[in-house]
Amino acid sequence: MEGDLQRTLGRNLRQYRLERSLSQEQLAEVLGVHRTYMGGVERGERNLTLKSVERIAAALSTSPLDLLS
Amino acid sequence: MEGDLQRTLGRNLRQYRLERSLSQEQLAEVLGVHRTYMGGVERGERNLTLKSVERIAAALSTSPLDLLS
DNA sequence: TTGTGACTTATAGTCCGTA
DNA sequence: GTACGGACTATAAGTCACA
């Protein structure tokens, strides 16, 4: 349903981050995005664009589809 | 790379449409968007948001991930 | 029947603060 | 270290006239 994709993305990102014991700020730096934006994405509040998903996936050396599954 | 997702989405939509011998205008009506917007998406020119992808997928009774694969 | 450019309105995305 | 708000800029959402 509406918002599922962004919630899934947020869950995946948070898991990735916690597995590596990174702070949101540290992960934000890796992803090249702003700290507060990062938090919003993790909380599933952000309705990202396809290009944004691609950028994040690339920074994590994974595929966009993985982040959305 | 950058833009792959939207190009894939466009390709999938066009294929879906042609398989059913629909015009862009007819498909646009199904999706509840304007004809010219639809065309831009099919051409891979539009950097959609996750919610937009979800809406299109729902209108076609398929999954967002299918449209992006 | 589809593509393109110009256009307005909505919202993605950045950056600053406070708690 | 995280959440949340406000103010701001860039761009997506969506339409239209014309080729």
Cβ atoms of A24 and A53 within 8 Å: the answer is: no
Q: Please, what is the average pLDDT of chain A?
A: 96
Closest Cβ–Cβ partner in A5, A47, A51 for B64: A5
Residue A23, judged by CB atoms within 10 A of its CB (0-12, 13-18, 19+), counts as: exposed
| Domain spanning B4-60: CATH superfamily | lambda repressor-like DNA-binding domains (1.10.260.40)
Report the sign of the C-alpha dihedral through residues B19, B22, B23, B29, in that order: negative
* B68 with A69: Cβ contact below 8 A: no
CA distance A54 to A58: 6
pLDDT at B43: 98
Cβ atoms of B29 and B18 within 8 Å: the answer is: no
Closest Cβ–Cβ partner in A1, A47, A69 for B50: A47
* A51 with B9: Cβ contact below 8 A: no
Average pLDDT over residues B7-24: 98
The model's pLDDT over A31-56, given as tens digits with 9 standing for 90+, comes to: 989 999 999 999 999 999 999 999 99
The model's pLDDT over B30-69, given as tens digits with 9 standing for 90+, comes to: 999 999 999 999 999 999 999 999 999 999 999 999 999 9
* B60 secondary structure, DSSP code: T
| Domain over A4-67 is classified CATH 1.10.260.40 | yes
Cβ atoms of B40 and A42 within 8 Å: the answer is: no
Domain assignments of chain A as residue spans, ordered by start: 4-67
pLDDT at A18: 97
Work out the pLDDT band at A59, boundaries 50, 70, 90.
Answer: very high
CA distance B49 to B14: 19
A55 CB near a chain B CB, below 8 Å?
yes
pLDDT at A69: 98
